[in-house]
């Protein structure tokens, strides 16, 4: 079972966040992309590629605040693909019918302005690591975070497939909004799995330590190479946030938003690739270790 706790997301994955808006507003039209749901094993309803420009989702995370720094981990469960602000039928996309699509993520934050943990506080996103996974059996479960326990991705996860991951944080900001909730916007390089241990960012080959297949490359069908950047947009109000005194711990119990993509080219540097491999290997170890823990 995978436990997650979030603080400083998606997706392209992941990930991790700006949490409860439904469909996040976008300053300019997002580029369209083609998804081939038949790449996910066992599909029944979704039998042909489709075009979308946004992926909606709901999220939960647990935030740990220490002075001017914060860390968080959590999940983002995708609920619908949209095109031109209209939701696509799950019978054509397969999402939540043939398979689940979700991110797990972890975030490191540092205070940029305001008072830590208080409304109006703004944080820089120092790093955002995420994994984007498909659940072919729709048998993965999602348990929101509490003050006492992180958000949990559980159920049957052995058949879940890693499609992609964060290949480096480009820019991002997060914080506590004046309505008593939290927000997050981020841009991450998007690594797409092309095979066992291999991936690409914008067509550039990179290591993919947690990749076991090329399903990600087949699923994100077009353009080729696929877009290299992911935008995460999430927000919520105080009804979806609980904090203890201080605060030192906050639980985002409910937030919504989503991800889109951008075609700005990114070519990773060799030194960055080495660090990425180490970071992903660590994230994989944390995931495997959490599977051994009993459900909260």
Per-residue pLDDT tens digits for 17-28: 333 222 333 346
E-strand spans in 88-181? 100-113, 122-135, 140-143, 151-155, 161-176
Tens digits of residue pLDDT in 30-77: 899 999 999 999 989 999 999 999 999 999 999 999 999 999 999 999
Q: Are 64 and 5 in contact (CB under 8 A)?
A: yes
What pLDDT, on the 0 to 100 scale, is given for residue 203?
87
Tens digits of residue pLDDT in 121-172: 999 999 999 999 999 989 999 999 999 999 999 999 999 999 999 988 888 9
What pLDDT, on the 0 to 100 scale, is given for residue 250?
96
Q: Are 82 and 51 in contact (CB under 8 A)?
A: no
Rounded to 5, what percent of the chain is helix, strand, coil? 10, 50, 35
Average pLDDT over residues 171-185: 90
Residue 294: which region, alpha, beta or left (left: phi > 0; alpha: psi -120 to 50)? Answer: beta
Instruction: Say how far residue 133 (Cα) sits from the centre of its chain.
Output: 9
Tens digits of residue pLDDT in 252-290: 998 988 999 887 655 555 444 444 444 444 444 334 334
Least confident span in 36-50, 221-235, 242-256, 282-296: 282-296
Alpha helices in the chain (DSSP H): 90-93, 215-219, 270-291
What is the torsion angle, in degrees rounded to the nearest 10, for the CA atoms of residue 138, residue 139, residue 144 and residue 145?
-120
pLDDT band at 296; cut points 50, 70, 90: very low
């Amino acid at each position: 079972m995978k436990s997650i706790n979030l603080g400083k997301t998606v997706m392209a994955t992941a990930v991790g966040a700006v949490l409860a808006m439904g469909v996040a507003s976008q300053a300019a039209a997002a580029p369209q992309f083609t998804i081939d749901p038949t790449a996910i094993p066992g599909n029944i309803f979704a039998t042909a590629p489709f075009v979308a420009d946004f992926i909606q989702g709901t999220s939960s995370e647990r935030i740990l605040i220490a002075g001017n720094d914060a860390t968080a981990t959590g999940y983002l469960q995708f609920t619908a693909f949209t095109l031109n602000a209209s939701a696509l039928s799950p019978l054509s996309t397969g999402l939540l019918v043939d398979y689940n699509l979700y991110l797990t993520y972890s975030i490191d934050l540092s205070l940029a302005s305001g008072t830590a943990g208080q409304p109006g506080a703004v944080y820089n996103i120092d790093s955002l690591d995420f994994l984007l996974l498909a659940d072919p059996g729709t048998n993965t479960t999602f348990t929101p975070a509490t003050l006492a326990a992180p958000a949990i991705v559980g159920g049957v996860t052995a058949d879940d497939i890693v499609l992609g991951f964060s290949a480096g944080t480009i820019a991002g900001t997060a914080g506590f909004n004046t309505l008593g909730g939290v927000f997050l916007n981020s841009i991450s390089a998007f690594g797409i799995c092309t095979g066992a241990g291999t991936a690409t960012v914008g067509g550039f080959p990179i290591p993919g330590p947690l990749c076991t297949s090329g399903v990600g490359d087949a699923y994100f069908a077009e353009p080729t190479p696929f877009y290299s950047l992911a935008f995460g947009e999430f927000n919520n109000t105080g009804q979806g946030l609980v904090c203890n005194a201080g605060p030192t711990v906050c639980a985002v119990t409910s937030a919504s938003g989503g991800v889109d993509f951008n075609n700005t080219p990114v070519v990773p540097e060799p030194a960055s690739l080495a660090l990425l491999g180490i970071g992903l290997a660590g994230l994989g170890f944390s995931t495997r270790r959490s599977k051994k823990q009993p459900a909260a």
